[in-house]
A and B are shown apart, each in its own frame.
Chain A
Amino acid sequence: MKKVLNLLVQYYREHLLNPHLGMKLFLLQRITGVGIAFYLLMHMTVIGSVRLGPASFDRMMVLVSEPAWLFKPLEVVLMAALLLHGLNGLRITILDFGSLARHHRVSIAVMAAAFVPLVAIGGYLFLSHIAQG
């Protein structure tokens, strides 16, 4: 645990010395990656409750969706994390194709242009209860 804390402090220190956008996006990629991994553990446990019977499953689904004022915003956070990790991942994949690596600034602008509207629309849909779950 202390080792992990040291690692996080090191990342923070690196970022202080290099407060560049690329560095921030790398850190966010790691953080969302680990975060999504933990979410998936929970998600699979929740869905896996179906093996205990339909009634257990129904109870479990109620547990993770009520109160709505807590879970809807959490789901928006999950969606934002997924979008960030995914879009940034696609950006990195494209940049690793040799000569495309010269267009760093542009790649960030393009990614932001996709990310912001998608999060905004998705967040709106969640929070205005049009979406369920």
Chain B
Amino acid sequence: MARVSVFRYDPEFDSKGYFDDFEVAVRPGLTVLEALINILEQEDGGLAFRYACRGAVCGSCSMHINGMYRLACATQMSDLGDEVVVRPLYHLPVIRDLVVDMTSFWAKYEMIRPWLANETPLGDAERIQSPEERARLDNLVECILCACCHASCPFTDTDPQYLGPALLLKVDRFYADTRDRAAADRLAAADSEHGVWRCHTAYNCVEVCPKSLNPTASIAHLKMGAARRRLTGRAKVR
């Protein structure tokens, strides 16, 4: 058995959040998400949380579990011990219980123009990339926009306009893509006081990423690109 303490907050009734405790029988293979669904079905039908794929690819069930931001569907109850504390993502407004308002996150996502910028006509051929060029995208395309890194970065809180690790990694995803023709624009989005210069390499993002990505490395890559553009006037990817 494990005791699961879940953050509860209903803006209609509560002035501030509190924790509800539930007893959960732990069997091998039980994930935190399953535990929450069990609680929802058997004990409290009013518990609010997001989930979809249950397979760590949609990024919906991100929350703070026992000291770290994680995906609930990818976290085993048996790894957590007898006391499990579940909180919503920080740095975003709480709508109810474990559900946060991702509006500002998506607004920043739109701002960085997350699509391949290439107006040249395709003709008959594809856009060719060598295996090495494609390999550069390996740890960048896998971001599922779960916002665990965004919640763990102290600077998305101190500066609400800071793009944050997830979105800067997304900028790097396109900056590093040889098929993208907007390197200068990518750098311009990153090279700002609300962009890479707010990163103070605390590395929380790297610690928590459920996909083992490295936003700090992306941010460092963008910093180098910004410096190169200033010194040489060229924004080309190295």
**Is chain B in direct contact with chain A in the complex (CB below 8 A)?**
yes
> Contact check: which of B157, B203, B220 meets A98 at CB < 8 Å?
B220
B180 within 8 A of A: no
Contact A17 B152 (CB under 8 A): yes
Whole-angstrom distance from the CB of A16 to the nearest CB of chain B? 9
Contact assessment for A97 and B201 in the assembled complex, using a CB-CB cutoff below 8 Å: no
Residues of B within 8 A of A14 (CB): 90, 154, 157
Q: Is the interface of A mostly helix, strand, loop or mixed?
A: helix
A112 within 8 A of B: no
B69 proximity list for chain A (CB < 8 A): 17-18
Q: In this assembly, does B34 line the interface, its C-beta being within 8 Å of a C-beta of chain A?
A: no
CB contact list, B81-127 vs A, under 8 A: 87, 90
- Stretch in A48-56, A99-107, A123-131 with 4+ CB within 8 Å of B: A99-107
Which bucket holds chain A's interface residue count? 20 to 34
B216 an interface residue at 8 Å Cβ cutoff? yes
Residues B203 and A20 in contact, CB atoms below 8 Å apart: yes
Tell me the smallest distance from the CB of B127 to a CB of chain A, in Å: 25
A-contacting 9-mer, from B15-23, B37-45, B206-214: B206-214
User: B224 within 8 Å of A by Cβ?
Assistant: yes
Docked pose: A25 CA to B154 CA in angstroms: 13
Q: Which of A20, A92, A101 neighbours the largest number of chain B CB atoms within 10 Å of its CB?
A: A101
A119 interface residue per 8 A CB criterion: no
A133 at the interface (CB under 8 A from B): no
Given A17-B90, A18-B208, A101:B202 Cβ within 8 A: no
**Which A residues between 1 and 49 are near B, CB-CB below 8 angstroms?**
10-11, 14, 17-23, 25-26, 29
The 0/1 profile, CB within 8 Å of B marked 1, for residues 85-113 of chain A is 00000001001111111101000000000
Q: Which residues of A contact B54 (CB under 8 A)?
A: none
Q: Total A-B residue pairs with C-beta atoms closer than 8 Å?
A: 71
Chain B residues lying within 8 Å of A22, measured Cβ to Cβ, are 201-204, 206-207
Q: What does the 1/0 interface line of B38-82 toward A look like (CB < 8 Å)?
A: 000000000000000000000000001001110000000000000
CB distance from A80 to the nearest CB of B (A): 21
Pair A20/B220 contact, Cβ less than 8 Å: no
Are B154's CB and A97's CB within 8 A? no
Residues of chain B from 152 to 173 with CB closer than 8 A to chain A in the complex: 152, 154, 157-158
Within 8 Å CB of B64, what residues of A? 17
B200 at the interface (CB under 8 A from A): yes
Q: Across the two chains, which residue of chain B brings its CB closest to A26?
A: B202
Is the pair A23, B154 in contact by a Cβ cutoff of 8 Å?
Answer: yes
B79 to chain A, nearest CB (A): 17
**Nearest CB of B to A133, in Å:** 34
CB-CB under 8 A from A104, the residues of chain B are: 203, 206, 216
Q: Which residues of B contact A19 (CB under 8 A)?
A: 67
- On whether the beta carbons of B152 and A18 are closer than 8 Å, the reply is yes
For B206, the closest partner residue in chain A by CB is A104
Residues of B within 8 A of A97 (CB): 220, 224
Query: 14 additional contacts, CB 8 Å, given A17-B64, A20-B207, A25-B202?
Result: A10-B158, A14-B154, A18-B68, A18-B154, A18-B207, A23-B202, A26-B201, A92-B200, A95-B220, A97-B220, A98-B221, A101-B214, A101-B217, A102-B217
